[in-house]
Amino acid sequence: MTPGWKCPRRVGFLFPHECFRTTPVGCPDCNNGQVQDPFVSRSDRYGYPDYDIFPMDFTEADGADLVTTSDEFESDMSGS
């Protein structure tokens, strides 16, 4: 362990975040520092092989025709 060492890589499954490990040795994400971007390199995302690449360009206009949310939204998790 190197004192003060901070991992520069992105890790995570659902979203990228910083790696909190104090050494790459034995790291299952970067495989001892061999993988540059462990977040993108994951291969266990089923139907999302290119998870970090978005097929369409979202714009502010995307929100124009959206469905409104219901009043019960906050409290009702069981409703259909």
Partner 1 sequence: MPVDVNRLRSEGVYEAREPLAALTDDLNQVQRLASDWHARRKNLAISGALTISLGIIAMVVFVPVGLLLIGGGIWLLYHMKVHPKAVANHTDRCEFGRSMAALLAADTDPKELVTMRLAFEPKEEVLSEGPLNGYKHGTQRLFRVSWFSISAKLYDGTTFSETVEDVVRERKYTSTRGKRKTKTRTRSLIGLRLDYPSERYGDVSALQARMQTEMYLPEGVKVRGVEVNDRAIKAKVVAQAIGIPQLVKANSMLALGIYRVLNLSLQKRGGRP
Burial 13-45 (b: 16+ CB within 10 A, else e): eeebeebebeebeebebbeeeebeebbebbeee
Total chain residues near partner 1 (CB under 8 A):
32
| Residue 5 binding partner 1, by CB under 8 A | no
Residue 22 CB, nearest distance to partner 1 (Å)? Answer: 13
Nearer to partner 1, 6 or 17 (CB): 17
Q: What is the dihedral of CA 39, 29, 7, 32, to 10 degrees?
A: -140
The residue ranges that bind partner 1 (CB under 8 A) are 10-17, 29, 45-48, 51-52, 54-56, 58, 60, 62-63, 65-67, 69-70, 73-74, 77-78, 80
